[in-house]
């Protein structure tokens, strides 16, 4: 079975390199490291079962589940390619060393090792596919948001190819129909089709930073525009809603990386919730929200933000004012009530999965780097 442990024998050079990588990681998120404390009632062990997530497992041991890479000794390079845990394995709490491990504390494989700096897999003896590995977060919830645009930034919308006509002048199209598209293809042949929706307005600046887009299906290039023609010929390959003239096309994105490992942003980030994926006015745990910060603001896949309700402004009832007017205003503190796991980022906008909230999420709520 696959295991995570340090090698028993290491050269001094390897030790030094691993220590340097760990130090680099600690320097990037030293503030976040202070929050990585074990729960007072943490169990001695947890048997991994199907349906577990790394977030859930870590929550049994840690006050802040998102910082589990630190207690596994992961560095920033390994965050991009984390190792795997499988059902049937046992996660142990090594209280003496303040770490999580897949080796039973005090066993032969664990005795005499230095504090864990790096994860190194051992050979697995069972033929279990990678698909059976425990995911970091509930993967099924975010699946539609990984490959379908849904949020399209303003410049992408302006430059997107569009459907200008349909086979036999049909108003709406389905699988197998021909469509005629105008616009640059940039060498792509497989496209997703979406319908522009409402504008996403930044709660702080009041500016439109992106558009919501309804995913309607996919289309495949049949023939590029040739001499004497102005449009490309496409075939509809999948239709979840009826397509029509005016719908936009974007190249199908590459298969996303699903090795999500939570970490604090590399630099402080202060964002606001712009939109909710649900049609309700509120979002709850395991629902998706959109925030007004992206890669250009320091967010990347796996970044964790803390959610706050914006502090209200109230009147000081005992302050002096003329005839009751002009009394002092007091701003109440923002109230932290949950975590947000960033799983897809654009330039100025990101998708986040709501994690462990004690109150509903609302548009306008604050999402910022862990304190």
More confident residue, 134 or 114: 134
How far apart (Å, rounded) are the C-alpha atoms in residues 53 and 60? Answer: 11
Residue 51 has pLDDT above 70, yes or no: yes
Residue 8 has pLDDT above 70, yes or no: no
* Confidence at residue 19, expressed as pLDDT on a 0 to 100 scale: 35
Question: Cβ contacts of residue 203 below 8 Å, gap of 6+?
Answer: 272, 273, 274, 292, 363, 364
Least confident residue range of 48-52, 150-154, 188-192: 150-154
Q: What is the pLDDT of residues 336-359, one digit of tens each?
A: 999 999 998 888 899 999 988 889
**Residue tagged 């790394």 (tokens):** 54
* Confidence at residue 109, expressed as pLDDT on a 0 to 100 scale: 54
Residue 110 has pLDDT above 80, yes or no: no
CATH superfamily of domain region 270-368: FlgT, C-terminal domain (2.40.10.410)
Query: What is the side-by-side order of every strand in the sheet holding 90-94?
Result: 45-47, 90-94, 99-101
Question: Cβ contacts of residue 241 below 8 Å, gap of 6+?
Answer: 195, 214, 215, 216, 217
The mean pLDDT value for 104-116 works out to: 53
Classify residue 38 by burial, with Cβ atoms within 10 Å: 0-12, 13-18, 19+: middle
How far apart (Å, rounded) are the C-alpha atoms in residues 279 and 284? Answer: 12
How far apart (Å, rounded) are the C-alpha atoms in residues 97 and 84? Answer: 22
Residue 33 has pLDDT above 50, yes or no: no
37 within 8 A of 63, measured Cβ to Cβ: yes
Q: What angle do CA 95, 98, 102 make, to 5 degrees?
A: 75
* Confidence at residue 308, expressed as pLDDT on a 0 to 100 scale: 95
How far apart (Å, rounded) are the C-alpha atoms in residues 123 and 125? Answer: 6
Backbone CA torsion sign across 275, 277, 282, 283:
negative
How far apart (Å, rounded) are the C-alpha atoms in residues 62 and 70? Answer: 11
**Which of 14-23, 27-36, 88-97: highest mean pLDDT?**
88-97
* Confidence at residue 131, expressed as pLDDT on a 0 to 100 scale: 59
**Residue tagged 């998708």 (tokens):** 351
CB atoms within 10 A of CB 348: 22
Q: What is the pLDDT of residues 278-324, one digit of tens each?
A: 777 888 888 899 999 999 999 998 899 999 998 888 777 777 766 65
* Confidence at residue 11, expressed as pLDDT on a 0 to 100 scale: 35
Q: What is the pTM of this model?
A: 0.67
The mean pLDDT value for 60-81 works out to: 69
**Residue tagged 């999965």 (tokens):** 353
Q: What is the pLDDT of residues 235-291, one digit of tens each?
A: 999 988 888 888 999 898 776 656 677 888 989 999 999 988 877 788 888 889 999
The domain limits of the chain are: 4-136, 144-251, 270-368
Distances (CA, A) of 78 to 5, 25, 222, 363: 14, 10, 42, 34
* Confidence at residue 307, expressed as pLDDT on a 0 to 100 scale: 96
* % residues pLDDT > 70 (the chain): 76
């Amino acid at each position: 079975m696959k295991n995570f442990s340090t090698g028993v024998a290491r050269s001094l050079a390897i030790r030094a390199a691993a220590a340097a990588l760990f130090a680099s990681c600690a320097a990037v998120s030293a503030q976040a490291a202070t929050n990585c404390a074990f729960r007072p009632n943490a169990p001695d062990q947890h048997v991994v079962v199907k349906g577990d997530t790394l977030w859930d497992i870590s929550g049994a041991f840690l006050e802040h589940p998102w910082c589990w890479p630190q207690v596994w000794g992961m560095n920033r390079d390994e965050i991009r390619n984390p190792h795997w845990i499988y059902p049937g394995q046992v996660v142990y709490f090594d209280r003496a060393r303040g770490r999580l491990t897949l080796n039973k504390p005090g066993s032969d494989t664990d005795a005499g090792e230095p504090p864990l700096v790096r994860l190194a897999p051992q050979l697995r003896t069972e033929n279990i596919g990678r698909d059976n590995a425990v995911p970091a977060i509930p993967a099924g919830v975010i699946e539609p948001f990984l490959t379908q645009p849904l949020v399209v930034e303003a410049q992408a919308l302006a430059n997107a190819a569009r459907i200008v006509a349909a086979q036999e002048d049909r108003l709406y199209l389905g699988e197998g129909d021909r469509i005629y598209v105008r616009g640059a293809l940039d060498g792509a042949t497989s496209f997703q089709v979406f319908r522009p929706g409402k504008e996403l307005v930044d709660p702080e600046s009041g500016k439109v930073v992106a558009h919501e887009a309804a995913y309607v299906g996919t289309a495949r290039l049949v023939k590029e525009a040739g001499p004497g023609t102005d449009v490309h010929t496409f075939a509809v390959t999948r239709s979840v809603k009826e397509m029509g003239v005016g719908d936009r096309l974007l190249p199908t994105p590459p298969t996303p990386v699903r090795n999500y490992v939570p970490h604090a942003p590399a630099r402080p980030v202060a964002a606001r919730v712009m939109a909710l994926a649900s049609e309700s006015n509120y979002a709850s745990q395991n629902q998706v929200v959109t925030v007004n910060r992206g890669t250009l603001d320091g967010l990347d896949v796996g970044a964790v933000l803390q959610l706050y309700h914006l502090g209200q402004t109230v009147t000081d009832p005992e302050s002096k004012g003329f005839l009751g007017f002009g009394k002092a205003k007091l701003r109440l503190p923002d109230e932290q009530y949950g975590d947000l796991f960033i799983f897809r980022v654009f330039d100025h906008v990101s998708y986040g999965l709501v994690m462990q909230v004690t109150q509903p999420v609302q548009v306008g709520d604050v999402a910022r780097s862990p304190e």
